[in-house]
Amino acid sequence: MSYLIPLFLLFSLYSFAVDWIDGKKPQAIKLEGKEGAKLDGTAWSSDESLGKVSMIFYVDPDVKDKNDKLGDALAAKKYSKDKINFYGIINMAATWMPNFILNEALKQKQKKYTETIYVKDFTKKLVKEWSLPDDESNVLLFDREGKLLWHKFGLVEESEIPKVLELIEKNF
C-alpha cells in the first residue's frame, strides 16, 4: 500500500501541468524580483500582450541559436509593434554559465533582434508553472486573447516557418 503514495504524488503533480493545446489560454504568469524580470528590471507578465498577437521564445542559453532561422524570418517581416510582441525569455537557471556572461550575450541578441523584449527567468518558473521543457528552445504563439495558436518544443524546421508567419498575419 505504501507504494501507492509516491504514485499518487506523481499523478497529482501532473494535474497542474499545462496542456499545450491550440485554442487554450494558459494561466497568467509573472516574473518579478528574485524570480526574474525584463532586462530593464521591470516585471513581466504573460498578460501584458493581451490585445496583440505575441510570440514567446523560452530558451536555455546553451541552445540560444537553435531557432535563429525563425527569428531571422520574423525580423525580416518587420511587423508593427502595435500588432505583435516578441519575448525572449531566458531560462537563466538552465546553464552553467555565470549571469555576467549571459547578460553580455543578451545585449548581443538585443542588438540583433531589436523588436524583442528580453526577460530573465532565474527560477525556471515557466518550466514549473507552464510545464515547458527544460534545457530546450521553446516557441509559443498566442492570439490577441492569449490563446495558444501554435507551439514547438525544440527546433522549428524551415518548412514550418511559412505556417508560423501565416498564423501571425491571419491573427492580427
**Domains, the chain, ordered by start:** 19-170 (3.40.30.10)
Q: From CA 161, how far away is CA 143, in angstroms rounded?
A: 17
* pLDDT tens digits along 120-161: 999 999 999 999 999 999 999 999 999 999 999 999 999 999
Q: From CA 77, how far away is CA 98, in angstroms rounded?
A: 34
pLDDT of residue 15: 37
Contact assessment for residue 29 and residue 45, using Cβ atoms and an 8 Å cutoff: yes
* pLDDT tens digits along 68-92: 999 999 999 999 999 999 999 999 9
- Which residue, among 116, 104, 144, has the nearest Cα to 38 in the 3D structure? 116
| Residue given cell 504514485 in the structure block | 7
pLDDT of residue 18: 67
Question: What burial class does residue 151 get, using C-beta atoms within 10 Å of its C-beta: 0-12 exposed, 13-18 middle, 19+ buried?
Answer: middle
* pLDDT tens digits along 8-54: 444 434 434 567 988 999 999 999 999 999 999 999 999 999 999 99
Contact assessment for residue 148 and residue 118, using Cβ atoms and an 8 Å cutoff: no
Q: Pairing relation of β-strands 44-45 and 36-38?
A: unpaired
pTM over 0.85: yes
